[in-house]
Amino acid sequence: MCGIVGIAGSYEGKENILRDSCRKIAYRGPDSQGVWLSQEGQIGFGHVRLAIQDLSVQGHQPMASADQRFMMVFNGEIYNHLELRAQLEQSAQAPAWRGHSDTETLLACFCAWGIAQTLKKAIGMFAIAVWDQQEKKLTLARDRFGEKPLYYGFTRQGLVFASELKAMMDVPGFEKTLNRDAVTLLLRHNYIPAPHSIFQDVFKLPPGTWLSLSEQDWQNRRKPEPQVYWSAYETARQQPKVHYESDDAAIDALAGVLSRSIQSQLISDVELGAFLSGGTDSSLIVALMQQQSAQAVKTFSIGFHEKKYNEAEYARSIAQHLGTDHTELYVSANDGLALVQSLPAMYDEPFADSSQIPMALVTKMASQSVTVALSGDAGDELFGGYSRYQRAASWWDRREKTVPLVRSLVASAAGKLAPGFGGNKKDKLQKLQEVLRATDAVDFYRQFVSYWKDPSSVVLGGRELATAFSLAPIGSFLETMMIVDTVSYLPDDILVKVDRAAMACSLETRVPLLDPHMFEFAWGLEDKYRVRDGQNKWLLKQLLYRLVPRSLLDRPKKGFSVPMGEWLRGPLKDWASDLLDPVRLRKQGLLDVAQIHERWQQHQAQQFDWSPHLWGVLMLQAWMDHYDIQG
């Protein structure tokens, strides 16, 4: 796990620029730092390394291919790189290996098969920049699901790219011009979906794509369209359903594919552990890890003193049953308050999933004992696990049973009545109007999971840009929700949350459920294996019941959340009140003061819990303060 930066164009003092950018993300790779400039001087790479495979200097980056054609910086892990090496050796295309790093493997594959074919063969998480000295082309690439981040954009001098925005902000010519359209998306989703970013002329490379740029491209500030080498949406849409002779056969199949994924992700030259929340996904990952380990797996949990949010006691019971080496940390409101001040620097683009707080705390705790941690993320997206899926399905069924004329009349009435109410009633009427007027299942789900229902009315001069919510529905309504979350919420919220929190304390995280074979298996399932008799993630749970007693598992899911509503009325109230001060907001000229002030007042009066909506605004304001960004 590492951090990468790069520039291309007419920058003065490229080496100093790159070294300064590397220092800003040194926590992503504290073990070593490297800089490379092309002979012509038009392009340069910087790299900070967290050594996981091949801890020797043979794994140092930037790294050149054996024939010197390709130069690369790479952030991530290629789990099947030993298999790729074997393929090269069998076809007599392997170089004389210098070490055993996956970086060297990738470069040899580029020489043998080309970049596009290598990306299709590689299984892992990665953000890559490759300079082809022969073709004079720069290629940027990102893994299938977006586990590793990659930003790129243009300045007056040329191109700049990096793992994180803070590495780009002080590059000469970089204009920190706020993208009001992205702010509008932030208030709807509490994250900014790819390919958009908080800055104008800066983009996120979408998952599963690569981008090739020539000197003419960066000289003319021309942005070619990213090329798709793998698509979660198309893979899901085209995946044939598999018929299993029995439920046990389906459970066995899951056990096989998930165990193989976990085994491939245990490759490491440093110590590994796992997060254990006590929920289905993390418990299953840990149980299968422990099956493959001769030693007690190190596991880590976060607990809360507020009982309705606390799952640490369940995690502890599961850890005891599995025999793991377990560590837990209880979080207080004061812990949250202390951490809030550092969130803008950690998530250097406005990001407002409040579970970023416990995530930052559990990764910091884990980093004191291990360098790599496996997580159970993606189980909800692949196996229909979110509780909102059942709520949304109930609304959708009722909507579909209502004739179009009645839907139109009720939506119109709700729209007319909403302005006459405040708080909860107004929000519910607006939500009713929107879901009734939705054009299809995707648009319906977008309305259902939105925070601010009309964010363009909150952001002055803002409009909404196209996102994954413009995709066509596929399969069942459940599958439509799952795939939309897989291509938007998963990469732009869940994986961002984990990557930034973990990298801030130099911890690598891995997600076994995001192996492409695992994804294909999950999308080959019929809905009855996802939800059955009101139980979501049915198949995952059946496998887990073979490994952990039901008595330790069967309980309502609490989620990885914090009591933000209470905190904003208590220990975080003064901090939030300053950021939401109407005088400040009016002077800033970015947001509609009346709407924000109304919700803040209603929240303080306990008329309604507006904490998710307010948290998006607060994270935006805190970020603008930290980086001195003007509206």
Q: Give the integer Cα–Cα distance in Å for 207 and 491.
A: 8
Active-site residue flag, 2:
yes
- Return the beta strands (E) in 496-567 as ranges: 508-510, 531-532, 535-536
Nearest to 576 by CA among 558, 601, 556, 551: 601
Annotated active-site residue in 2, 22, 109, 111: 2
List the one residue out of 64, 57, 61, 121 whose CA is nearest residue 95. Answer: 64
Count of Cβ atoms closer than 10 Å to residue 68 Cβ: 9
Q: Are 563 and 306 in contact (CB under 8 A)?
A: yes
Tell me the C-alpha to C-alpha distance, in Å, between residue 69 and each of 41, 46, 111, 202, 498: 16, 18, 8, 29, 35
DSSP assignment letter at 459: B
Of 305, 262, 304, 267, which Cα lies nearest the Cα of 284?
262
Neighbours of 370 (CB within 10 A): 20
Nearest CA-CA partner of 26 in 170, 163, 198, 128: 163
Provide φ and ψ at 171, rounded to 5°. -65, 135
The three-point CA angle 41-45-51 to 5° equals 150
Amino acid at position 462, single letter: G
Q: For residues 189-212, b (16+ Cβ closer than 10 Å) or e, as one string?
A: bbbbbbbbbbbeebbbbbbbbbbb
Q: Which two tokens stand for residue 18?
A: 């790159």
> Residue 447's closest CA among 199, 100, 455?
455
Whether 370 contacts 273, CB under 8 Å: yes
Active site residues: 2
